[in-house]
Every structure is written in structure tokens, then in C-alpha cells.
Structure 1
């Protein structure tokens, strides 16, 4: 069996098992040629590689579409978050636990991708569009993460990552020039499926068919539309994605109903915004609390389960001072201030209820394929709120 610590070109790599421990044998391989990846550290598994290869495609396409360093945080073959590089505000550094850290453009992209949904990013697979630098590696080293894929690593970054998880952190390097075959296959129940790869290019020209009365689409919103659509291209369908300022703030993946996608992603966007509420920023945690414990406590504090956190015997283990309750009225008022949000959908909105839910989370821009028999109703609902909507004409299902 191939030893992971030994880095060399290969046509196949045997794995410990597949999706579950009983699924043996397991391997990844090329029918011809060499694998475009090298394992620099650790022992990535079957699901790790699914996350790695899907997330790499996302960040590579996002960098090509925006010209900005890009990052993604993947869990179970869907992104928990994705983002492009952007300087963080002091509040963002606070809620992403990046205070007093050096943040290069690539590091900022990953901090923001991870910060989109820190609860879901627990134990993530990270993807980086550019060579991993030391600043990005230092932040990764602080987080609970399974591994990372990038087109390369500086010597300092690799040395930092090799100290993570007692030396077992998974580090994968991919050839950025690798181009897969145009036809792809997979087996289901012993039957082979074949299709052409989804090579559809998502670019600015896709956003020109604005079907609403309001046609004012700023450059920042166009970038956010591209981010939402590229994210959806690698999210298990059905899926809806909320984006603001070059980062996803809510991804709803794998739901059978479109409105459930919109609600799920919208609730995540609301939580992202509520993390910036003054009462949340003012929480005083006990010294030495672990980052995941802090994430969990904030999530519960924001949620309807806050009474459990504030109950006697619970809050003392988390907070230095018993926090004041964040009331439903306060949460509603704070969420009402969220604005400038973009929503993308991997398939058409069948009803206007999706627009109604989206606008409650500050949505002002929507990108979706169009093609519903009720497009006129969906457009009319957007017009009622002055929302700008572009029809892309392209479905982005991913299974």
C-alpha cells in the first residue's frame, strides 16, 4: 500500500475505506496518466478527497471569475462557506476570532469563508486558490479542520501545517494546470452513469438579462452574483446561496423543496448577521475556552435555546458574567437592518414566496435561471420590493 508520507507521482492511491468503515476496498485512481495531486502530509480518506476535489474546482473558478484570491470551507461535499479576499473590519476580526493576526489576502479569504458558518465549518476541508502562505497556515492551525488543498505551499506554511493534529493534518497539493477529461462516470447500484463534465463558464455576461423594473446592478452585487452561482455549481442540489461583500453568509444545500433551501440559507444569513449584534460582541467568555465551545455558545445564545445557556450551572462554565438575554424583539430589529444581500439559486424560483423570504434577510439582488411557468409572479414580487433580478438561463444542479 502507498505510504502517504512518501510524496511521489502515482496513478492510484489506496484508501483505508470508503464513505463508511465497512466499505472496502477503496481507492482513487486514474485510468491513464498520473494523479494530479500529491499528499504532502497526513492520510486523507475517501470523503476528504471528495471535498478536496469539489472545493478546489470552486476556488479555481472563483479566482478566474473575480481575479481575487479565493477560499472555501467544505463539509460533506458542499461548501459551508466561500469567499474572496477582502480586508476585514474590526468587527469581522472579532466574530471570526482573527484579532491580532497577520492577514494576507489569501488568509482573509479563508477567514471569511470559515466565518460564513463557523458551526458548520467545524472539521472542514479547506481549499485555497493560491499557494498557501504562512499567515493562512497559522489561522488554519488554530481551527478544527480535516485538511487543505492548494496549488502549493511555502516552506514555512508547510512546516506549520505539519505540526497540526499531532503531525497528522492532511495536506494535499494539486496541479493547477490539470484539466480533467470532458466525459465523467460514476457507478450507482452497479450501473455506470456517463455525462459530460459541467464545463459551463460562469462570467459577467451571464448577468445581463435583468428582468425586473429596477435594473441598477452595482459592480459589487455583480461580483456577489458570480460568487453565489459558482458556489452553487459545487453545492449538493437543491441549493440556494446568500452572499454579501464577497462572501457567502448562508448556504442551503440538499433540500427537496426550493423554499426550504431559501429558508435554511436565510436563517444562516440571519445568524451570521446576529453574531455582530452588540450583545453578542460583548459576551465575556471564561479564560482558555476552546474556539468550538465559543462557537457553540454563541449559536445557542442567538437561538431560541438561549435559556439553556443562561440556566444555572451552565453559563458559569462558559461566561465570566451571566449574559443578558437577547430578546426576540431585539433579534428581529437587528435582522431588519441587514441589507445589500445577493441570493443565487441553482434552479428557478417556482413561486414568489422565495423572494418574500429572501427579502426578510436583506436581499436586494437575485440571480436565478428563470423558466418557471410563474416567472411573471416571481418578477412581480421582486418589483414590489424594488429587488433587482437577473435570469441566467442556466441550471446548476450538482449531484
Structure 2
């Protein structure tokens, strides 16, 4: 494949950044500039000579600009195969000139949606002519260069400088690949808006997911696996992927996964008191609230100080110096916070490998959205688990009703259990987790492990008794037998919160009554696999 000299360029952009510099560079190479509407106006105001698209086509722009580039003299100039004699003859017969470069970026559909525009304005920001030109130019990349990203203007200018006003085949091929990715992402955004926002369809017949490479990662879950981070294309998101990294080593795949788990859980408390979440391998190992962040951190750490080593910490308040100093007492991989004061930043600066992520506003735990998981041969898609229960939705099923404090502890434990891998058992007392049992194949073992962890934590802290004594216990799904509940009784729990719905509910309720427990049903479960 040979180099192609650029003699005529068609420019039509909604994003004018870098446009003038590009136009000037093209002008230095003697390139004829053809343009539309606002793009032509901007180039002329910069002193550049520009031909209107209507001069090329012989037709005026019409229908409020909806029709301006959809014309054979545009698409013939883009699609003609230059070494095909029949194509060349058609160009000569119909006075179609070749177009060697197209510079297009599309109407700001995503930005229009994001600003909350009315439907009519959103529809008008669906670009038609732009994607058509992009696709035509990209298809004929053997002869035509197509630039859709202003970030590539500098590369184009350098390429032309090196090639004496021409472009190489490899360069055009790279641009074509980016162009098709751009139109695919654009169409995906439009399809998603029509399905989800405009028509309220949760699972459309065709699911298009568009994302852009943010970075390649060192490796995946294991060193032999490759990995990368992609960000959604479209209205801005708010999560761990958008957090600003202030310091520390490059984030790994596991760091992102664990930090996301921590942020999702701490966001449940974004409107509550100071809260600290410590996560290890995507499971919380300590969660606590307090009057201050440092109080919450110390209580969360006490739940399982062994697992916290090398863990991920998320907080729901701007990080302060005293809390940062306390966190620095053990090895921590990542700390995520809405913000951090200068004292906290200075303390963490001494821990050069620690990653500090500032998230800004925490995600809304009640937000809607889809979760996608790949399986062999397909995708599993479900809505986010944004289910929540309030006090007045709880059903007391035992003879003894829980006290106000027990209800508070129940709801705290229930909130944490939602973010623990199933089978999940969480003991909580006074705004702190006392013991967490995660990911076991049966609920009895989870209850026993959580109780054992609480006992171990008490021994390490020098407490007279485990914090499971007088605690509330949450189960993410119903107790299929009374044995799991009896394990909680043995651990010292006095109140239970669980979904209910087992065929043996009466047996479990009877066991709770016999032990003097208070138990409430939520009618909602929180499996997390």
C-alpha cells in the first residue's frame, strides 16, 4: 500500500478544539479545505480559505442542517476506488472530486442527554451525516484518512510533515479502526437511550455496551492473566473507576475490584455518621460507624485486624490527619475517600506505595443500572441490587419484639451482609461489625466462622468477651434449618434479621422463641456470588 497525498480535506466538527491549528497545518501543505456551517465559520474567522459544502455539492444545506453532506459528490469522493477505471470514469462523468481527508466529530448526543435536555433536543443531536461520512471514509481507508478524535490532530500533522503532505497506509488503517469504534460507540449510546430512558425497557432485544480503554493493567487476578480498565462511553459515571489517584503504585485488577467493593459498601452510609469499611478479597472484614472517622476506623479494624493487613479501606467523609495516621499503622493497599485534607495527604506521602483515591461524591446506592457477567458462550445480565428495607417494613415473627437498639443493630448488620459473599452471616453491635462469615457452602459454617472470628478478635484486643455477646445477626438469605440460628445463639446474639421464606420458617421461629431471641423478616434476600 502506498502513501496518499492530501489535496482536499472535508472538515465538519462539533468539538472545535484544535481545529484552527489543524486547518493552518493543512493550509501550509496547500490542502483545499471544504467545510460545513459552524466549522467553516470558525476556519474563516481564523483567516483560512474555505469552500462551503454547498459549493461542492451544488445543493444548499437544508432542513435545519439535517441534509448537507448526504450527497453523491461527497460520498462518491470518499468511496471511489482510485485505481478502479470504472470508478474513475464515474467521477469524471459526474464531476466528482476525490476527498483525501475527512475530519469529523459527531453531534454531542451524550452531553445533550447528560444535561437533561428535552426529547426533541436529544433527537436533533442524533448525527446522521457525520457517521455516514466517517463510515464511508473508513471503508475506503486505502485512499482516505479519517480523523474522529481531536487527540489525533497532532499525530496527523506530524504524519503529514514527515511524509511531505501525505499519509501512510498503516496510519490510515489505524484511523479507520478508531473511526468504526467511534461510530459503534455513538450508535450504542443512542440505542441505549431509546431502550432505557425513552422507552423504559430493562432488557432490550439487543444489548449494546460501549466503553473506551482507560489503561492496561499489570495483569489480571493472577500474573498469567492480562487485564485492562475500560470506562463507559456516554453520560459521566461516578465510581471507583473515575476516582483521582493522588499517589501510590499503579492500581492492579484486584485493587480495582476490591476498592469497588469497599466503595459500594461505604456508599450505603453516605448520608450517615462517619463510617469506615475495610475490605479484603472483595469481602468486608470490618465495618463501623463512630462520632469521628478515627473512632470508626479503630472499631472496624478491631473486628478482624489480621485480615485487614494488606486490605482496602473506604470512608464516607473527607480523610483527616489523625485517621490517616492510624491507617498508616498497618500495611494498606488502597484508601478511598471523598476527599482528604493536607495533613492526611502529607502522612500518606510517606507511604509511597499506598494508593490514595479521591472519589468526590459517593455513588448513590439506590441508583439503577445493569450488572453484566460473562459466562462460557454468553452474558448474564441483571439489575443492580439496590434493594433496601426500613424499620417499618420489618416483620416481627417472634414472641419478643426487638428493642430500638437491637433494631438499629439488625439494620446495620443487614446493610453489611448485602455486600458479603454468600452464604453471609454478619454479627453487629453498637454500629460495628463483631464477626463476619463469608462465602461458605452452608450457612451454619458461616455463622460458626463469624463467631470464631469475633472470639479471636476479643482475645487479641484483650476484651473480656466477644462483641457477639448481645449482638444482632444478619443472614443474607433464610435459615434453611435451625442449626445456623442456634450457632448464633451460642455466639451470644440476641436479635436476628433474615429474609424468611423457608419451608422450615416455623421451626426456626420456634427455636428463636425458645432461646428468647427477637427475630424480624425482611422479605428480601441479598445473595452475592
- Give the Å deviation of 1:377: 0.7
Q: Does residue 1:226 correspond to 2:417, yes or no?
A: no
Q: Does residue 1:214 correspond to 2:400, yes or no?
A: yes
Q: TM-score, normalised by structure 1?
A: 0.74
SS at match of 1:119: helix
Q: Does residue 1:40 correspond to 2:246, yes or no?
A: yes
- Could you tell me which residue of structure 2 aligns to residue 151 of structure 1? 338
- Give the Å deviation of 1:371: 0.5
Decide which of 216, 219, 224 is 1:22's aligned counterpart: 224
CA distance in 2, matches of 1:203, 1:70: 19
CA distance in 2, matches of 1:39, 1:202: 34
- Give the Å deviation of 1:191: 2.5
Distance 1:233 1:277, change over 3 A: same
User: Mapping of 1:192-211 within 5 angstroms?
Assistant: 192-206=379-393, 208-211=394-397
Decide which of 92, 101, 106 is 2:293's aligned counterpart: 106
- Give the Å deviation of 1:127: 0.7
Decide which of 328, 337, 354 is 1:141's aligned counterpart: 328
- Give the Å deviation of 1:186: 2.3
8 A contact 1:11–1:32 mirrored in 2: no
Distance 1:28 1:220, change over 3 A: farther
- Give the Å deviation of 1:336: 8.9
8 A contact 1:36–1:178 mirrored in 2: no
Distance 1:202 1:357, change over 3 A: same
Q: Does residue 1:353 correspond to 2:483, yes or no?
A: yes
- Give the Å deviation of 1:177: 5.2
Distance 1:156 1:337, change over 3 A: closer
User: Mapping of 1:179-328 within 5 angstroms?
Assistant: 182-189=369-376, 191-206=378-393, 208-215=394-401, 217-277=402-462
What whole-Å deviation, never above 9, does each CA across 1:174-205 have from its counterpart, x for those lacking one?
13254566112122335222110111124333
- Could you tell me which residue of structure 2 aligns to residue 78 of structure 1? 283
8 A contact 1:335–1:361 mirrored in 2: no
8 A contact 2:277–2:284 mirrored in 1: yes
Q: Does residue 1:386 correspond to 2:516, yes or no?
A: yes
Report how many aligned residue pairs link the two structures. 311
8 A contact 1:238–1:256 mirrored in 2: yes
SS at match of 2:502: coil
- Give the Å deviation of 1:12: 1.9
CA distance in 2, matches of 1:338, 1:23: 40
CA distance in 1, matches of 2:335, 2:445: 31
What whole-Å deviation, never above 9, does each CA across 1:351-397 have from its counterpart, x for those lacking one?
11112111111100000000111100100101011100000111101
Distance 1:63 1:177, change over 3 A: closer
Distance 1:162 1:84, change over 3 A: same
8 A contact 1:202–1:230 mirrored in 2: no
What whole-Å deviation, never above 9, does each CA across 1:274-332 have from its counterpart, x for those lacking one?
34547xxxxxxxxxxxxxxxxxxxxxxxxxxxxxxxxxxxxxxxxxxxxxxxxxxxxxx
- Could you tell me which residue of structure 2 aligns to residue 13 of structure 1? 215
Higher relative contact order (CA 8 A, sep 6+): 1
Structure 1 or 2, whichever has the larger Rg, is: 2
Which one has a larger percent helix, Structure 1 or Structure 2? 2
What whole-Å deviation, never above 9, does each CA across 1:103-138 have from its counterpart, x for those lacking one?
xx0111111111101111111100101111111100
CA distance in 1, matches of 2:230, 2:405: 40
Q: Does residue 1:55 correspond to 2:269, yes or no?
A: no
- The CA RMSD over aligned residues, in Å, is 2.1
Q: TM-score, normalised by structure 2?
A: 0.56
8 A contact 2:434–2:468 mirrored in 1: no
8 A contact 1:251–1:264 mirrored in 2: yes
8 A contact 2:227–2:253 mirrored in 1: no
Ranges in structure 1 where 5+ consecutive residues have no aligned partner: 1-9, 87-104, 279-333
SS at match of 1:222: helix
8 A contact 1:12–1:28 mirrored in 2: yes
